[in-house]
Amino acid sequence: ELKVEQNPLFLSMQEGKNYTIYCNYSTTSDRLYWYRQDPGKSLESLFVLLSNGAVKQEGRLMASLDTKARLSTLHITAAVHDLSATYFCAESGSNSGYALNFGKGTSLLVTP
Amino acid sequence: GAVVSQHPSRVICKSGTSVKIECRSLDFQATTMFWYRQFPKQSLMLMATSNEGSKATYEQGVEKDKFLINHASLTLSTLTVTSAHPEDSSFYICSASRGLAGLSYEQYFGPGTRLTVT
């Protein structure tokens, strides 16, 4: 049973463009996390969304959470090359001790 | 604050040997620590949840006799891969949570340990 589904899994976009990554989850968790991972590195926390309607922004990234639709989005505005990385969403609450269930990740490549 | 370290960062071992990976919370007490495994170009998969002073809870399909987890103090958890085989080669990442599970939503990830079994 797939608990967290991300799409797209691969995304190539030009600098300056906007795009949205979607994260659907199948549990009743109201905690949703977004992480960034660079090649060969561990995870960098981007956002923690704790309630329905939560919206957080940091630089060119904005994340939102709709717990009724069980959907979170990560919106990229005016992409730059430095945003190239893999982005994971994760939910907690369905595992023991509130461990995280991760999506498969979205591999983002921003090209000139 | 909230720094988690792992040691070693990279290890190569021969098939049949055992390897111990340490996960430390440097500036906070971590009642709960988690161990994840990530194969190349795949997502993170939870292996086990470790609570200080008690036995770890393993996920389905993870052999508890092969992956020994010890959480002897509030700042240290160890993962020992026993009788390692090439298929155990992976990126092992720990995370730590402050306070009691469920009462703290933030998890802090270590830098990971890349294990290669030859």
Which residue in the block uniquely carries the two structure tokens 């996960």? Answer: B23
Cis peptide before B8 (omega within 30 of 0): yes
Rounded CA gap, A29 and A91, in Å? 7
Identity of the residue in B43, B110, B112 whose CB atom sits nearest the CB atom of A102: B43
Mean pLDDT of chain B: 91
CA B54 to chain centre: 15
Chain B residues in contact with A50 (beta carbon < 8 A): 105
pLDDT of residue B2: 82
Using 50, 70 and 90 to split pLDDT, how confident is the model at A93?
A: low
Q: Smallest Cα–Cα separation from B50: which of B107, B111, B90, B7?
A: B107
Nearest CA in chain A to B6: A42
Contact criterion met (CB below 8 Å) for A97 and B101:
yes
- Give Cα B59 to chain centroid, integer Å: 13
Q: Indicate the pLDDT class of residue B15, thresholds 50, 70 and 90.
A: very high
Which tokens is A36 given?
């960034």
Please tell me if residue B98 touches chain A, with a CB cutoff of 8 Å: no
The arithmetic mean of pLDDT across residues A101-105, rounded, is 94
Chain B residues whose CB is inside 8 A of the A45 CB are: 106, 108-109
**Model pLDDT, residue B18:** 97
> Which sign, positive or negative, has the C-alpha torsion A25, A28, A30, A35?
negative
Residues composing chain A: 112
Determine the residue of chain B that is closest to A51 in CA distance: B105
Gap between the Cα atoms of A5 and B106, Å rounded: 21
Distance in angstroms (rounded) separating the CA atoms of residues A21 and B35: 26
Contacting A residues, span 47-106, partner chain B, CB-CB under 8 Å = 48, 50, 88, 90, 92, 95-105
Q: Between chains, do B105 and A95 touch, taking CB under 8 Å as contact? A: no
What band does A97 get if pLDDT is binned at 50, 70 and 90? low
Nearest to B55 by CA among B71, B66, B67: B71
Q: Is A29 an interface residue toward B (CB < 8 Å)?
A: no
Here the tokens at position A28 are 């009743």
More confident residue, B35 or A28: B35
pLDDT bin (cut points 50, 70, 90) of residue B24 is: very high
Please state whether beta strands B10-13 and A32-37 pair in parallel, antiparallel, or not at all (unpaired).
Answer: unpaired
Dihedrals phi, psi of B76, to nearest 5 degrees = -140, 130
Angle at A42 between CA A39 and CA A45, to 5 degrees: 110
Per residue in B71-115, pLDDT (tens digit) is: 889 899 999 999 999 999 999 999 998 755 545 567 899 999 999
What's the whole-number mean pLDDT along residues A2-21? 94
Give the pLDDT of residue B39.
Answer: 95
Query: What pLDDT does A29 receive?
Result: 72
The rounded distance, in Å, linking the Cα atoms of A89 and A31 is: 11
A-chain residues within 8 Å CB-CB of B109?
Answer: 35, 42-43, 45
Is residue B1 scored above 70 in pLDDT? Answer: no
Taking the C-alpha atoms of residue B71 and residue B82, their distance in angstroms, rounded to an integer, is: 17
Count CA atoms closer than 13 A to B108's CA, side-chain side: 22
pLDDT band at A52 (very low <50, low <70, confident <90, very high): confident
